[in-house]
């Protein structure tokens, strides 16, 4: 996989202009969703090299991260003269960078791509590391590719318009990075005050968080081994997210991951000795800030069926988990039986309900 350049911008316009002028793209396309078109695209209006850029606007959020939207983007690229020498800029959250990244990966077998993440989640996670794709057949990211954007240009100025639920959603993935990295990073994350946001502190935490992801992706870009750490919380989190989408009550990805981590931390505790106190404080933080997903024991089978499609699974019907023996003590390729998974769901409902 080609190396990806992740830039925490000091002067966004200048740095992006420099990157654009280093290449001779025949055409530049900017992909936004309806919200980032309105709220984020205006922040690029002084960049001369984007004056003639073609705009492609898609519907927002995960309900649009699908084949129909992807086909629309392919169509726009094709009908508006994109060639192999064109550039696609993805300006948006993880939905835009995932779908746009996959459009760039597949259009004429691959065109240049720059990610400009505009949500906290996409800054520290989705825009970085090369996983692109769409949801399909009711399953999260069922179709996709590894196709890192040439550059990821991070500027926290975009966060000023982001609402609190989406800020918290991104923070869920940051918490995951804390749990799989260092006790000091994890404990600092637990003290963050959402009622009085300190943007300078948030900027520092974004830098640390993105570094956790970059370090892991560099070691294992195609998720053969240690990259599975970045999937902590997702075996059950993705099942929660797909279940919520199926029942027409979509939830934000980072919330689903936070709830998934409640279950997977508990499994980590009983299986790998994850310390009780760290379990308690993390669950407390999640409960206070993320509330809970409602489901009953009648939904267990449906949730379990979603888990059978997890991409980490190696053999049919055996569910693969990444667990933790402690903060930063990563144990990949763990499994649990259907009965054990149902017990985790019981634990979730008892603790979070």
Ligand X SMILES: NC(=O)c1ccc[n+]([C@@H]2O[C@H](COP(=O)([O-])OP(=O)(O)OC[C@H]3O[C@@H](n4cnc5c(N)ncnc54)[C@H](O)[C@@H]3O)[C@@H](O)[C@H]2O)c1
Ligand Y SMILES: O=C(O)C(=O)C[C@@H](O)[C@H](O)[C@H](O)COP(=O)(O)O
Those residues whose C-beta lies under 8 Å from the C-beta of residue 317, and which sit 6 or more positions away, are 308
Residue 239 site contact among ligand X, ligand Y, none (CB < 5 to 8 Å, cut-off depends on kind): none
Name residue, tokens 């750490």: 229
Using the contact rule CB under 6 A, the part of the chain among 81-89, 101-109, 229-237, 271-279 near ligand Y is 229-237
The neighbouring-strand residues paired with 139 are 136
Phi-psi region of 30 (alpha: psi -120 to 50; beta: other; left: phi over 0): beta
294 to 333, contacts with ligand Y by CB under 6 A? 311
328 CB-contact burial (10 Å; exposed 0-12 / middle 13-18 / buried 19+) = middle
Q: Of the candidates 35, 65, 177, 227, which one interacts with ligand Y according to CB under 6 A?
A: 227
Assess 223 for contact with ligand Y (CB under 6 A).
yes
Residue 281 site contact among ligand Y, ligand X, none (CB < 5 to 8 Å, cut-off depends on kind): none
Q: Of the candidates 30, 82, 94, 244, which one interacts with ligand X according to CB under 6 A?
A: 94
Q: Of the candidates 140, 177, 271, 331, which one interacts with ligand Y according to CB under 6 A?
A: 140
Residue 64 site contact among ligand X, ligand Y, none (CB < 5 to 8 Å, cut-off depends on kind): none
Q: Which is nearer to ligand Y, 230 or 327 (CB)?
A: 230
Assess 166 for contact with ligand Y (CB under 6 A).
no
Those residues whose C-beta lies under 8 Å from the C-beta of residue 196, and which sit 6 or more positions away, are none
The binding track of 110-129 with respect to ligand Y, each residue x by CB under 6 A or -, is ---------------x---x
Three-class SS of residue 210? helix
Name residue, tokens 């918490």: 175
Q: Are 4 and 148 spatial neighbours (Cβ–Cβ below 8 Å)?
A: yes
214 to 243, contacts with ligand X by CB under 6 A? none
The binding track of 146-185 with respect to ligand X, each residue x by CB under 6 A or -, is ------------x--xx---x--x---x------------
86 to 105, contacts with ligand Y by CB under 6 A? none
19 to 58, contacts with ligand X by CB under 6 A? 33, 35-36, 39-40
Q: Of the candidates 253, 269, 271, 331, which one interacts with ligand X according to CB under 6 A?
A: 253
Residue 235 site contact among ligand Y, ligand X, none (CB < 5 to 8 Å, cut-off depends on kind): none
Residue 268 site contact among ligand X, ligand Y, none (CB < 5 to 8 Å, cut-off depends on kind): none
Q: Are 13 and 153 spatial neighbours (Cβ–Cβ below 8 Å)?
A: no
Any alpha helices (H) in 67-153, and if so which ranges? Answer: 67-79, 94-106, 120-121
Q: Are 117 and 154 spatial neighbours (Cβ–Cβ below 8 Å)?
A: yes
Q: Are 257 and 320 spatial neighbours (Cβ–Cβ below 8 Å)?
A: no
Using the contact rule CB under 6 A, the part of the chain among 78-86, 95-103, 199-207, 336-344 near ligand X is 95-103
> How many Cβ atoms sit within 10 Å of the Cβ of residue 37?
19
**DSSP character at residue 251:** -
Element at 301 (helix H, strand E): helix 300-307
Tokens representing 223 are: 């998720």
Assess 62 for contact with ligand Y (CB under 6 A).
no
Q: Are 6 and 210 spatial neighbours (Cβ–Cβ below 8 Å)?
A: yes
Euclidean distance between CA atoms 55 and 89, whole angstroms: 10
Residue 177 site contact among ligand Y, ligand X, none (CB < 5 to 8 Å, cut-off depends on kind): none
Euclidean distance between CA atoms 189 and 46, whole angstroms: 35
Count residues binding ligand Y (CB under 6 A). Answer: 12
Assess 211 for contact with ligand Y (CB under 6 A).
no
- Which of 151, 341, 169 is CA-nearest to residue 264? 341
Residues near ligand Y (CB under 6 A) are: 125, 129, 131, 140-141, 173, 223, 227, 230-231, 234, 311
Residues near ligand X (CB under 6 A) are: 33, 35-36, 39-40, 60-62, 65, 92-96, 98, 118-119, 121-122, 125-126, 129, 131, 140-141, 158, 161-162, 166, 169, 173, 252-253
């Amino acid at each position: 996989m080609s190396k990806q350049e992740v830039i925490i911008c000091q002067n966004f316009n200048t740095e992006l202009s420099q990157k654009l002028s280093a290449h001779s793209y025949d055409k530049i396309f900017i992909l936004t969703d309806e919200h980032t078109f309105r709220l984020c695209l205006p922040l690029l209006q002084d960049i001369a090299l984007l004056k003639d850029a073609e705009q492609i606007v898609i519907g927002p959020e995960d309900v649009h991260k699908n084949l129909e939207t992807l086909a629309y983007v392919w169509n726009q690229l094709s009908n508006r003269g994109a060639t192999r020498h064109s550039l696609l800029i993805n300006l948006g959250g993880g939905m835009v960078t995932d779908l746009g990244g996959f459009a760039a990966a597949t259009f004429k077998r691959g065109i240049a791509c720059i990610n400009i993440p505009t949500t906290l989640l996409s800054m520290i996670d989705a825009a970085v590391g090369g996983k692109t794709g769409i949801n399909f057949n009711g399953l999260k990211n069922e179709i996709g590719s590894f196709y890192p954007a040439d550059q990821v240009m991070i500027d926290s100025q975009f966060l000023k318009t982001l609402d609190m639920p989406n800020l918290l959603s991104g923070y869920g993935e940051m918490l995951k990075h804390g749990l799989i990295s260092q006790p000091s990073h994890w404990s600092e994350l637990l003290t963050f005050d959402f009622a009085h946001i300190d943007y300078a502190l948030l900027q520092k935490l974004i830098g640390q968080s993105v570094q956790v992801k970059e370090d892991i992706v560099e070691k294992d870009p195609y998720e053969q081994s240690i990259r599975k750490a970045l999937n902590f919380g997702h075996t059950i989190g993705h099942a929660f997210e797909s279940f919520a989408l199926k029942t027409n009550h979509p939830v934000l990805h980072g919330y689903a991951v936070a709830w998934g981590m409640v279950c997977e931390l508990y499994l980590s505790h009983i299986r790998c000795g994850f310390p009780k106190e760290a379990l308690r404080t993390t669950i407390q933080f999640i409960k206070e800030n993320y509330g809970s997903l409602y489901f009953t024991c009648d939904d267990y089978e449906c949730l379990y069926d979603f888990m059978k499609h997890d991409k980490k699974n190696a053999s049919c019907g055996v569910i693969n988990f990444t667990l933790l023996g402690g903060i930063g003590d990563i144990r990949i390729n763990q499994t649990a039986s259907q009965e054990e998974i149902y017990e985790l769901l019981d634990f979730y409902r008892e603790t979070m309900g």
